[in-house]
Amino acid sequence: MTEPTIAPAPPVTLVIFGATGDLTRRLLVPTVLNMTQSGLVSDSLHILGIGIEPGDDEMLRAKLEDFLTTSNIKANYSAETWQGLRSRIFYRQGDFTQDAIYAEIAGQLGAQAGRNAAYYLAVPPLFFGDIVDKLADHDLLKETDGAFRRLVIEKPFGTDLASARALNARILNRVPETQVYRVDHFLGKETVQNIMTARFANMMIESLWSNNFIDHIQITAAELVDVGTRGKFYDATGALRDMVPNHLFQLLAMVAMEPPNSFDAEAIRDEKGKVLKALRIYSSEEAGQNSARGAYTSGVSGGRTIPSYTDIPDVARDSATETYVALKLFVDTWRWAGVPFYLRTGKAMTARDTEIVVTFRQVPFAQFKGMGPQRRLTPNRLIIQVQPDEGLHIEISIKSPGLSVETMPVSLDFNYADFFDIGKLTGYESLLYDLFVGDQTLFQRADSIEAGWAAVQPFLDLWATSAERPDPYPAGSMGPQCADALIERDGRKWHQPDVEHRVKAKVS
Protein backbone atom coordinates (compact mmCIF):
# COMPACT_ATOMS: atom_id res chain seq x y z
CA MET A 1 0.00 0.00 0.00
CA THR A 2 1.28 3.51 -0.71
CA GLU A 3 1.25 5.99 2.14
CA PRO A 4 -0.43 9.33 1.47
CA THR A 5 2.24 12.02 1.30
CA ILE A 6 2.45 13.97 4.51
CA ALA A 7 4.34 17.24 4.66
CA PRO A 8 7.36 17.23 6.97
CA ALA A 9 6.87 18.93 10.32
CA PRO A 10 8.24 22.47 10.67
CA PRO A 11 11.78 23.09 11.98
CA VAL A 12 12.02 22.46 15.69
CA THR A 13 14.45 21.91 18.52
CA LEU A 14 13.39 18.97 20.64
CA VAL A 15 14.73 19.84 24.07
CA ILE A 16 14.83 16.63 26.10
CA PHE A 17 15.08 16.88 29.87
CA GLY A 18 16.48 13.51 30.94
CA ALA A 19 18.53 13.00 27.78
CA THR A 20 20.70 10.20 29.16
CA GLY A 21 17.70 8.22 30.41
CA ASP A 22 15.94 5.15 29.14
CA LEU A 23 13.02 6.88 27.45
CA THR A 24 15.33 8.98 25.29
CA ARG A 25 17.37 6.11 23.92
CA ARG A 26 14.62 3.49 23.76
CA LEU A 27 11.85 5.63 22.34
CA LEU A 28 12.53 9.25 21.51
CA VAL A 29 15.67 8.92 19.42
CA PRO A 30 14.50 5.76 17.55
CA THR A 31 11.23 7.56 16.84
CA VAL A 32 13.01 10.61 15.44
CA LEU A 33 15.12 8.27 13.31
CA ASN A 34 12.01 6.57 11.90
CA MET A 35 10.47 9.96 11.25
CA THR A 36 13.59 11.29 9.54
CA GLN A 37 13.84 8.19 7.40
CA SER A 38 10.24 8.46 6.27
CA GLY A 39 10.38 12.23 5.73
CA LEU A 40 8.02 13.20 8.57
CA VAL A 41 10.73 15.51 9.89
CA SER A 42 13.52 17.16 7.94
CA ASP A 43 17.14 18.02 8.64
CA SER A 44 15.94 21.13 10.39
CA LEU A 45 15.11 19.07 13.49
CA HIS A 46 17.68 19.42 16.28
CA ILE A 47 17.83 17.58 19.56
CA LEU A 48 19.11 19.41 22.61
CA GLY A 49 19.64 16.94 25.43
CA ILE A 50 19.70 18.13 29.02
CA GLY A 51 20.89 15.94 31.87
CA ILE A 52 22.71 15.93 35.17
CA GLU A 53 25.44 13.62 33.88
CA PRO A 54 28.68 15.42 33.02
CA GLY A 55 29.59 15.41 29.35
CA ASP A 56 29.44 17.19 26.00
CA ASP A 57 27.67 16.71 22.66
CA GLU A 58 29.98 13.85 21.75
CA MET A 59 29.23 12.03 25.02
CA LEU A 60 25.50 11.91 24.26
CA ARG A 61 26.02 11.08 20.58
CA ALA A 62 28.36 8.18 21.41
CA LYS A 63 26.08 6.84 24.14
CA LEU A 64 23.10 6.84 21.81
CA GLU A 65 25.11 5.27 19.02
CA ASP A 66 26.27 2.53 21.29
CA PHE A 67 22.72 1.81 22.39
CA LEU A 68 21.31 1.86 18.87
CA THR A 69 23.87 -0.58 17.59
CA THR A 70 23.65 -3.03 20.47
CA SER A 71 19.94 -3.18 21.24
CA ASN A 72 16.95 -4.52 19.50
CA ILE A 73 14.91 -1.38 19.03
CA LYS A 74 12.00 -0.75 16.74
CA ALA A 75 13.63 1.51 14.20
CA ASN A 76 14.20 1.29 10.50
CA TYR A 77 16.82 3.76 9.27
CA SER A 78 19.91 3.98 7.13
CA ALA A 79 23.45 4.70 8.34
CA GLU A 80 23.23 8.01 6.51
CA THR A 81 20.07 9.01 8.38
CA TRP A 82 21.77 8.32 11.70
CA GLN A 83 24.91 10.23 10.72
CA GLY A 84 22.76 13.21 9.72
CA LEU A 85 20.81 13.19 12.96
CA ARG A 86 23.92 12.49 15.02
CA SER A 87 25.44 15.81 13.99
CA ARG A 88 22.27 17.63 15.08
CA ILE A 89 22.26 16.21 18.62
CA PHE A 90 23.62 18.50 21.34
CA TYR A 91 24.05 18.12 25.07
CA ARG A 92 24.14 20.53 27.98
CA GLN A 93 24.80 19.35 31.50
CA GLY A 94 22.87 21.00 34.31
CA ASP A 95 20.62 20.79 37.33
CA PHE A 96 16.93 21.16 36.36
CA THR A 97 16.19 23.02 39.56
CA GLN A 98 18.85 25.72 39.02
CA ASP A 99 18.80 28.76 36.72
CA ALA A 100 22.09 28.18 34.90
CA ILE A 101 20.84 25.45 32.59
CA TYR A 102 17.90 27.55 31.42
CA ALA A 103 20.24 30.35 30.35
CA GLU A 104 22.15 27.71 28.37
CA ILE A 105 18.93 26.53 26.72
CA ALA A 106 18.01 30.11 25.80
CA GLY A 107 21.44 30.60 24.24
CA GLN A 108 21.24 27.36 22.33
CA LEU A 109 17.73 28.01 21.01
CA GLY A 110 18.80 31.44 19.86
CA ALA A 111 21.43 29.80 17.70
CA GLN A 112 18.91 27.52 15.94
CA ALA A 113 16.91 28.48 12.87
CA GLY A 114 13.17 28.77 13.45
CA ARG A 115 13.35 28.92 17.24
CA ASN A 116 10.43 26.54 17.57
CA ALA A 117 10.94 24.39 20.63
CA ALA A 118 9.26 21.37 22.18
CA TYR A 119 10.39 20.66 25.74
CA TYR A 120 10.09 16.97 26.50
CA LEU A 121 10.03 16.17 30.21
CA ALA A 122 11.46 12.63 30.21
CA VAL A 123 12.22 12.95 33.93
CA PRO A 124 10.78 11.68 37.22
CA PRO A 125 7.48 13.46 38.01
CA LEU A 126 8.91 15.28 41.01
CA PHE A 127 10.72 17.57 38.54
CA PHE A 128 7.68 18.46 36.41
CA GLY A 129 6.58 21.50 38.41
CA ASP A 130 10.09 22.89 38.92
CA ILE A 131 11.00 22.62 35.25
CA VAL A 132 7.82 24.37 34.13
CA ASP A 133 8.39 27.18 36.62
CA LYS A 134 11.98 27.66 35.52
CA LEU A 135 11.12 27.56 31.81
CA ALA A 136 8.48 30.22 32.44
CA ASP A 137 10.80 32.33 34.64
CA HIS A 138 13.29 32.38 31.78
CA ASP A 139 10.64 33.30 29.19
CA LEU A 140 11.27 30.03 27.41
CA LEU A 141 7.56 29.23 27.14
CA LYS A 142 6.65 32.57 25.58
CA GLU A 143 5.56 32.27 21.94
CA THR A 144 6.86 35.25 20.01
CA ASP A 145 7.46 35.99 16.31
CA GLY A 146 5.23 33.08 15.28
CA ALA A 147 7.52 30.51 16.92
CA PHE A 148 5.91 27.78 19.04
CA ARG A 149 6.93 26.63 22.50
CA ARG A 150 5.35 23.35 23.58
CA LEU A 151 5.62 21.32 26.72
CA VAL A 152 5.44 17.52 26.72
CA ILE A 153 4.76 15.66 29.94
CA GLU A 154 5.04 11.92 30.32
CA LYS A 155 3.04 9.88 32.78
CA PRO A 156 2.57 9.45 35.67
CA PHE A 157 0.57 12.66 35.86
CA GLY A 158 -0.19 12.76 39.57
CA THR A 159 -0.71 9.84 41.91
CA ASP A 160 -4.30 10.60 42.84
CA LEU A 161 -6.99 13.19 42.20
CA ALA A 162 -5.57 15.81 44.56
CA SER A 163 -2.01 15.60 43.22
CA ALA A 164 -3.18 15.63 39.58
CA ARG A 165 -5.27 18.73 40.26
CA ALA A 166 -2.38 20.43 42.02
CA LEU A 167 0.02 19.63 39.17
CA ASN A 168 -2.42 20.87 36.53
CA ALA A 169 -2.96 24.06 38.51
CA ARG A 170 0.77 24.65 38.85
CA ILE A 171 1.45 24.08 35.15
CA LEU A 172 -1.54 26.02 33.86
CA ASN A 173 -0.56 28.93 36.06
CA ARG A 174 2.51 29.36 33.84
CA VAL A 175 1.50 28.09 30.40
CA PRO A 176 -1.84 27.79 28.59
CA GLU A 177 -3.43 24.40 27.91
CA THR A 178 -2.88 24.90 24.17
CA GLN A 179 0.87 24.54 24.73
CA VAL A 180 0.66 21.48 26.99
CA TYR A 181 0.93 17.96 25.54
CA ARG A 182 0.31 15.23 28.16
CA VAL A 183 1.42 11.92 26.73
CA ASP A 184 -0.46 8.65 27.08
CA HIS A 185 1.56 6.34 24.88
CA PHE A 186 -1.48 4.09 24.26
CA LEU A 187 -2.82 6.87 22.04
CA GLY A 188 0.18 6.39 19.75
CA LYS A 189 -0.84 2.81 19.02
CA GLU A 190 -2.26 2.30 15.54
CA THR A 191 -5.12 0.08 16.72
CA VAL A 192 -6.16 2.58 19.37
CA GLN A 193 -6.36 5.32 16.77
CA ASN A 194 -8.34 2.90 14.60
CA ILE A 195 -11.14 2.65 17.19
CA MET A 196 -12.64 5.93 16.02
CA THR A 197 -12.41 4.89 12.38
CA ALA A 198 -13.89 1.47 13.09
CA ARG A 199 -16.82 3.15 14.79
CA PHE A 200 -17.45 6.32 12.84
CA ALA A 201 -16.60 5.10 9.33
CA ASN A 202 -18.75 1.98 9.57
CA MET A 203 -22.52 2.19 9.73
CA MET A 204 -22.80 -1.51 10.51
CA ILE A 205 -20.74 -1.01 13.66
CA GLU A 206 -21.81 2.38 14.96
CA SER A 207 -25.53 1.81 14.43
CA LEU A 208 -25.37 -1.09 16.90
CA TRP A 209 -23.20 0.80 19.38
CA SER A 210 -25.46 1.26 22.41
CA ASN A 211 -27.24 -0.46 25.24
CA ASN A 212 -29.96 -1.48 22.77
CA PHE A 213 -27.64 -4.03 21.25
CA ILE A 214 -24.56 -4.35 23.46
CA ASP A 215 -24.59 -6.57 26.52
CA HIS A 216 -21.25 -5.62 28.04
CA ILE A 217 -17.70 -4.52 27.18
CA GLN A 218 -14.41 -5.95 28.43
CA ILE A 219 -11.13 -4.06 28.26
CA THR A 220 -8.05 -6.11 29.07
CA ALA A 221 -4.38 -5.18 29.23
CA ALA A 222 -2.67 -8.40 30.28
CA GLU A 223 1.11 -8.39 30.42
CA LEU A 224 3.62 -11.21 30.39
CA VAL A 225 6.25 -8.98 31.93
CA ASP A 226 6.59 -8.99 35.68
CA VAL A 227 7.68 -6.04 37.81
CA GLY A 228 11.32 -7.10 37.53
CA THR A 229 13.71 -4.28 38.41
CA ARG A 230 10.97 -1.62 38.71
CA GLY A 231 10.11 -2.57 42.30
CA LYS A 232 10.75 0.87 43.77
CA PHE A 233 8.43 2.66 41.36
CA TYR A 234 5.87 -0.11 41.23
CA ASP A 235 5.46 -0.75 44.93
CA ALA A 236 4.48 2.88 45.42
CA THR A 237 2.21 2.75 42.39
CA GLY A 238 0.41 -0.56 41.79
CA ALA A 239 -1.57 -1.80 38.82
CA LEU A 240 -4.50 0.54 39.30
CA ARG A 241 -2.52 3.79 39.21
CA ASP A 242 -0.07 2.51 36.62
CA MET A 243 -2.60 1.45 33.98
CA VAL A 244 -6.22 2.35 34.69
CA PRO A 245 -6.85 6.14 34.90
CA ASN A 246 -4.55 6.60 31.92
CA HIS A 247 -4.22 3.74 29.42
CA LEU A 248 -7.37 1.75 30.08
CA PHE A 249 -9.51 4.87 30.42
CA GLN A 250 -8.21 6.14 27.09
CA LEU A 251 -9.41 2.92 25.48
CA LEU A 252 -12.72 3.20 27.32
CA ALA A 253 -13.16 6.82 26.23
CA MET A 254 -12.53 5.93 22.57
CA VAL A 255 -15.04 3.10 22.77
CA ALA A 256 -17.74 5.00 24.62
CA MET A 257 -17.49 8.55 23.24
CA GLU A 258 -20.26 10.16 21.20
CA PRO A 259 -19.43 11.03 17.59
CA PRO A 260 -17.54 14.35 17.67
CA ASN A 261 -18.85 17.26 15.59
CA SER A 262 -15.55 17.22 13.68
CA PHE A 263 -12.17 15.57 13.90
CA ASP A 264 -10.67 18.71 15.44
CA ALA A 265 -8.63 18.08 18.54
CA GLU A 266 -10.99 19.99 20.82
CA ALA A 267 -14.13 18.35 19.44
CA ILE A 268 -12.65 14.90 20.06
CA ARG A 269 -11.23 15.78 23.45
CA ASP A 270 -14.57 17.26 24.49
CA GLU A 271 -16.36 14.00 23.71
CA LYS A 272 -13.74 11.84 25.40
CA GLY A 273 -13.83 14.12 28.42
CA LYS A 274 -17.62 13.77 28.66
CA VAL A 275 -17.32 9.99 28.86
CA LEU A 276 -14.73 10.11 31.61
CA LYS A 277 -16.84 12.60 33.54
CA ALA A 278 -19.81 10.24 33.20
CA LEU A 279 -17.98 7.34 34.85
CA ARG A 280 -19.93 6.46 37.97
CA ILE A 281 -18.18 7.58 41.14
CA TYR A 282 -18.60 4.79 43.66
CA SER A 283 -19.14 4.95 47.38
CA SER A 284 -16.57 3.06 49.41
CA GLU A 285 -18.91 0.08 49.71
CA GLU A 286 -19.61 0.05 45.97
CA ALA A 287 -15.89 0.31 45.26
CA GLY A 288 -15.37 -2.87 47.29
CA GLN A 289 -18.17 -4.69 45.49
CA ASN A 290 -17.01 -3.70 42.04
CA SER A 291 -13.30 -4.44 42.24
CA ALA A 292 -10.87 -7.30 42.62
CA ARG A 293 -7.13 -7.13 43.11
CA GLY A 294 -4.28 -9.55 43.19
CA ALA A 295 -0.52 -9.88 43.55
CA TYR A 296 1.43 -12.56 41.74
CA THR A 297 3.19 -15.37 43.51
CA SER A 298 5.99 -17.39 41.95
CA GLY A 299 5.27 -19.23 38.74
CA VAL A 300 6.15 -19.52 35.09
CA SER A 301 5.08 -16.75 32.75
CA GLY A 302 6.14 -16.59 29.11
CA GLY A 303 8.55 -19.50 29.65
CA ARG A 304 10.39 -17.73 32.49
CA THR A 305 10.31 -18.61 36.17
CA ILE A 306 9.25 -15.56 38.09
CA PRO A 307 9.64 -15.02 41.84
CA SER A 308 6.72 -13.79 43.93
CA TYR A 309 6.13 -10.05 43.74
CA THR A 310 6.97 -9.64 47.43
CA ASP A 311 10.32 -11.38 46.93
CA ILE A 312 11.74 -9.01 44.32
CA PRO A 313 14.17 -6.17 45.13
CA ASP A 314 12.77 -2.89 46.47
CA VAL A 315 9.36 -4.35 47.29
CA ALA A 316 8.24 -4.55 50.92
CA ARG A 317 7.93 -8.18 52.06
CA ASP A 318 4.51 -7.35 53.49
CA SER A 319 3.56 -5.16 50.52
CA ALA A 320 -0.17 -4.66 49.95
CA THR A 321 0.40 -3.29 46.44
CA GLU A 322 -1.66 -4.94 43.70
CA THR A 323 -0.07 -6.24 40.51
CA TYR A 324 -3.49 -7.08 39.08
CA VAL A 325 -6.76 -5.21 39.18
CA ALA A 326 -10.23 -5.83 37.76
CA LEU A 327 -13.05 -3.29 37.92
CA LYS A 328 -16.67 -3.22 36.92
CA LEU A 329 -17.61 0.31 35.90
CA PHE A 330 -20.57 2.15 34.46
CA VAL A 331 -20.72 5.12 32.12
CA ASP A 332 -23.84 6.94 33.19
CA THR A 333 -25.16 8.22 29.88
CA TRP A 334 -28.27 7.36 27.86
CA ARG A 335 -26.21 5.36 25.40
CA TRP A 336 -24.52 3.20 28.00
CA ALA A 337 -27.09 2.94 30.80
CA GLY A 338 -27.00 -0.58 32.19
CA VAL A 339 -23.96 -1.75 30.17
CA PRO A 340 -21.12 -2.85 32.44
CA PHE A 341 -17.54 -2.10 31.42
CA TYR A 342 -15.25 -4.73 32.90
CA LEU A 343 -11.62 -3.63 32.99
CA ARG A 344 -8.63 -5.72 34.02
CA THR A 345 -4.89 -5.45 33.87
CA GLY A 346 -2.01 -7.30 35.46
CA LYS A 347 1.62 -8.26 35.37
CA ALA A 348 3.09 -11.77 34.96
CA MET A 349 -0.01 -13.16 33.33
CA THR A 350 -0.57 -16.01 30.89
CA ALA A 351 -0.11 -13.89 27.80
CA ARG A 352 0.51 -10.42 26.51
CA ASP A 353 -2.89 -9.33 25.35
CA THR A 354 -4.44 -5.89 25.09
CA GLU A 355 -7.93 -6.14 23.70
CA ILE A 356 -11.39 -4.67 23.75
CA VAL A 357 -14.19 -7.19 23.53
CA VAL A 358 -17.67 -5.92 22.78
CA THR A 359 -20.29 -8.59 23.41
CA PHE A 360 -23.66 -8.02 21.77
CA ARG A 361 -26.97 -9.10 23.19
CA GLN A 362 -28.48 -12.47 22.42
CA VAL A 363 -30.87 -12.59 19.49
CA PRO A 364 -34.43 -13.35 20.61
CA PHE A 365 -33.81 -16.69 18.79
CA ALA A 366 -37.45 -17.61 18.32
CA GLN A 367 -36.58 -19.96 15.47
CA PHE A 368 -33.87 -21.67 17.47
CA LYS A 369 -36.15 -22.55 20.39
CA GLY A 370 -35.74 -26.28 19.87
CA MET A 371 -32.02 -26.03 20.45
CA GLY A 372 -32.41 -26.13 24.21
CA PRO A 373 -30.49 -24.22 26.86
CA GLN A 374 -27.31 -26.23 26.39
CA ARG A 375 -27.01 -25.05 22.85
CA ARG A 376 -27.73 -21.36 23.17
CA LEU A 377 -26.39 -19.24 20.37
CA THR A 378 -23.05 -17.65 21.02
CA PRO A 379 -23.59 -13.88 21.03
CA ASN A 380 -21.84 -11.78 18.39
CA ARG A 381 -18.59 -10.25 19.49
CA LEU A 382 -16.40 -7.53 18.10
CA ILE A 383 -12.80 -7.86 19.26
CA ILE A 384 -10.40 -5.00 18.81
CA GLN A 385 -6.98 -6.57 19.25
CA VAL A 386 -4.74 -3.69 20.32
CA GLN A 387 -1.58 -5.75 20.77
CA PRO A 388 0.10 -8.00 19.89
CA ASP A 389 -1.23 -9.20 16.49
CA GLU A 390 -3.07 -5.91 15.90
CA GLY A 391 -6.41 -6.51 14.26
CA LEU A 392 -10.18 -6.54 14.31
CA HIS A 393 -12.32 -9.65 14.59
CA ILE A 394 -16.05 -10.06 14.27
CA GLU A 395 -17.58 -13.24 15.62
CA ILE A 396 -20.85 -14.29 14.06
CA SER A 397 -22.91 -17.46 13.98
CA ILE A 398 -23.27 -19.53 10.84
CA LYS A 399 -25.11 -22.69 10.00
CA SER A 400 -22.70 -25.57 9.92
CA PRO A 401 -23.06 -27.60 6.74
CA GLY A 402 -25.50 -30.50 6.95
CA LEU A 403 -29.18 -31.28 6.91
CA SER A 404 -30.02 -30.16 10.46
CA VAL A 405 -29.94 -26.55 11.62
CA GLU A 406 -26.78 -26.47 13.69
CA THR A 407 -25.19 -23.10 14.32
CA MET A 408 -21.57 -22.50 15.07
CA PRO A 409 -19.56 -19.34 15.84
CA VAL A 410 -16.94 -18.24 13.32
CA SER A 411 -14.64 -15.26 13.27
CA LEU A 412 -14.16 -12.78 10.44
CA ASP A 413 -10.58 -11.67 10.91
CA PHE A 414 -8.63 -8.62 9.85
CA ASN A 415 -4.96 -8.61 10.84
CA TYR A 416 -2.90 -5.49 10.23
CA ALA A 417 0.19 -7.58 9.53
CA ASP A 418 -1.50 -9.12 6.48
CA PHE A 419 -1.68 -5.74 4.80
CA PHE A 420 0.75 -3.34 6.42
CA ASP A 421 4.20 -3.27 7.89
CA ILE A 422 3.83 -1.63 11.28
CA GLY A 423 6.36 -3.79 13.06
CA LYS A 424 9.27 -1.39 12.99
CA LEU A 425 7.49 1.62 14.45
CA THR A 426 7.89 2.62 18.08
CA GLY A 427 4.31 3.90 18.42
CA TYR A 428 5.59 7.41 19.19
CA GLU A 429 5.83 8.56 15.55
CA SER A 430 2.30 9.94 15.36
CA LEU A 431 2.64 11.50 18.82
CA LEU A 432 5.83 13.38 17.97
CA TYR A 433 4.57 14.40 14.55
CA ASP A 434 1.37 15.79 16.05
CA LEU A 435 3.42 17.58 18.68
CA PHE A 436 5.53 19.27 16.02
CA VAL A 437 2.54 20.28 13.89
CA GLY A 438 0.50 21.39 16.91
CA ASP A 439 -2.31 18.81 16.87
CA GLN A 440 -3.38 17.95 20.44
CA THR A 441 -5.89 15.21 19.53
CA LEU A 442 -3.73 12.37 20.83
CA PHE A 443 -2.76 14.14 24.05
CA GLN A 444 -4.66 14.30 27.29
CA ARG A 445 -6.35 17.47 28.44
CA ALA A 446 -6.36 18.55 32.09
CA ASP A 447 -10.07 17.91 32.62
CA SER A 448 -9.87 14.33 31.31
CA ILE A 449 -6.90 13.51 33.49
CA GLU A 450 -8.75 14.75 36.54
CA ALA A 451 -11.98 12.94 35.58
CA GLY A 452 -9.99 9.71 35.29
CA TRP A 453 -8.46 10.11 38.72
CA ALA A 454 -11.86 11.03 40.20
CA ALA A 455 -13.29 7.68 39.04
CA VAL A 456 -10.46 5.61 40.56
CA GLN A 457 -10.13 7.62 43.77
CA PRO A 458 -12.74 5.54 45.70
CA PHE A 459 -10.69 2.39 45.03
CA LEU A 460 -7.47 4.10 46.13
CA ASP A 461 -9.15 5.34 49.30
CA LEU A 462 -10.65 1.98 50.10
CA TRP A 463 -7.41 0.05 49.66
CA ALA A 464 -5.36 2.63 51.54
CA THR A 465 -7.38 1.91 54.67
CA SER A 466 -8.24 -1.74 54.10
CA ALA A 467 -6.66 -4.44 56.24
CA GLU A 468 -7.15 -6.92 53.41
CA ARG A 469 -4.30 -7.72 51.09
CA PRO A 470 -4.53 -8.46 47.37
CA ASP A 471 -5.42 -12.07 46.59
CA PRO A 472 -2.56 -14.22 45.32
CA TYR A 473 -2.45 -15.49 41.74
CA PRO A 474 0.35 -17.61 40.33
CA ALA A 475 2.57 -15.92 37.76
CA GLY A 476 1.53 -17.28 34.38
CA SER A 477 -2.20 -17.31 35.19
CA MET A 478 -4.95 -14.91 34.16
CA GLY A 479 -5.35 -13.36 37.62
CA PRO A 480 -6.87 -14.18 41.00
CA GLN A 481 -10.10 -16.10 41.52
CA CYS A 482 -11.82 -13.06 43.00
CA ALA A 483 -11.58 -11.42 39.55
CA ASP A 484 -13.37 -14.37 37.97
CA ALA A 485 -16.01 -14.14 40.68
CA LEU A 486 -16.47 -10.41 39.94
CA ILE A 487 -17.68 -11.11 36.40
CA GLU A 488 -19.16 -14.58 36.90
CA ARG A 489 -21.66 -13.41 39.47
CA ASP A 490 -23.22 -11.43 36.59
CA GLY A 491 -23.47 -14.62 34.52
CA ARG A 492 -20.55 -13.58 32.28
CA LYS A 493 -16.99 -14.74 31.76
CA TRP A 494 -13.70 -13.08 30.95
CA HIS A 495 -12.69 -13.47 27.35
CA GLN A 496 -9.82 -15.93 27.11
CA PRO A 497 -6.84 -14.75 25.08
CA ASP A 498 -5.60 -16.98 22.30
CA VAL A 499 -2.83 -18.17 24.61
CA GLU A 500 -0.84 -20.47 22.40
CA HIS A 501 -0.54 -17.77 19.80
CA ARG A 502 0.16 -14.88 22.12
CA VAL A 503 2.70 -16.52 24.39
CA LYS A 504 4.89 -16.73 21.33
CA ALA A 505 4.77 -12.94 21.15
CA LYS A 506 7.94 -11.45 22.53
CA VAL A 507 8.07 -10.32 26.14
CA SER A 508 8.69 -6.61 25.72
> Which residues are documented as binding site?
18-25, 95-96, 155, 185, 189, 223, 242, 347
In Å, what is the CA distance from 300 to each residue of 1, 352, 474, 483?
41, 14, 8, 20
CA-based nearest residue to 426, from 17, 55, 24, 143: 24
CA-based nearest residue to 495, from 508, 504, 483: 483
DSSP state of 57: H
Beta carbons within 10 angstroms of residue 414's beta carbon: 14
172/225 with CB nearer ligand BG6: 225
The residues annotated with a catalytic role in the active site are: 247
Instruction: Write the burial class of residue 184 (CB in 10 Å: 0-12 exposed, 13-18 middle, 19+ buried).
Output: buried
Q: Which residues lie below 8 Å from residue 398, measured CB to CB, with a gap of 6+?
A: 407, 408, 409, 410
Contact 219/191 with Cβ under 8 angstroms?
no
Angle between helices 57-70 and 79-86 (to 10 degrees): 160
In three-state secondary structure terms, 399 is: strand
- Select the residue interacting with ligand BG6 from 29, 82, 223, 442 (CB under 6 A): 223
C-alpha 132: how far from chain center: 24
117/276 with CB nearer ligand BG6: 276
Q: How far is the CB of 323 from ligand BG6 (least distance, A)?
A: 10
In Å, what is the CA distance from 345 to each residue of 196, 210, 219, 245, 505?
23, 24, 9, 12, 18
Applying CB under 6 A, what is the total number of residues that bind ligand BG6? 6
Positions of E strands within 61-187: 89-93, 117-121, 149-153, 180-183
CA-based nearest residue to 507, from 476, 465, 463: 476
Q: How far is the CB of 318 from ligand BG6 (least distance, A)?
A: 22
Q: How far is the CB of 242 from ligand BG6 (least distance, A)?
A: 5
* Residue 154 sits in the site that holds ligand BG6 (CB under 6 A): no
- Residue 297's beta-bridge partner residues? 474
Q: Which positions from 157 through 196 interact with ligand BG6, judged by CB under 6 A?
A: 185
246/297 with CB nearer ligand BG6: 246
Q: How far is the CB of 145 from ligand BG6 (least distance, A)?
A: 37
Q: Which positions from 394 through 423 interact with ligand BG6, judged by CB under 6 A?
A: none
Instruction: Write the burial class of residue 130 (CB in 10 Å: 0-12 exposed, 13-18 middle, 19+ buried).
Output: middle
92/185 with CB nearer ligand BG6: 185
- Select the residue interacting with ligand BG6 from 226, 242, 271, 395 (CB under 6 A): 242
Q: How far is the CB of 394 from ligand BG6 (least distance, A)?
A: 24
223/450 with CB nearer ligand BG6: 223
Q: How far is the CB of 279 from ligand BG6 (least distance, A)?
A: 20
Q: Which positions from 331 through 360 interact with ligand BG6, judged by CB under 6 A?
A: 354
Q: Which residues lie below 8 Å from residue 241, measured CB to CB, with a gap of 6+?
A: 156, 159, 160, 456, 460
Q: How far is the CB of 225 from ligand BG6 (least distance, A)?
A: 6
Site of interaction with ligand BG6 (CB under 6 A): 155, 185, 223, 225, 242, 354
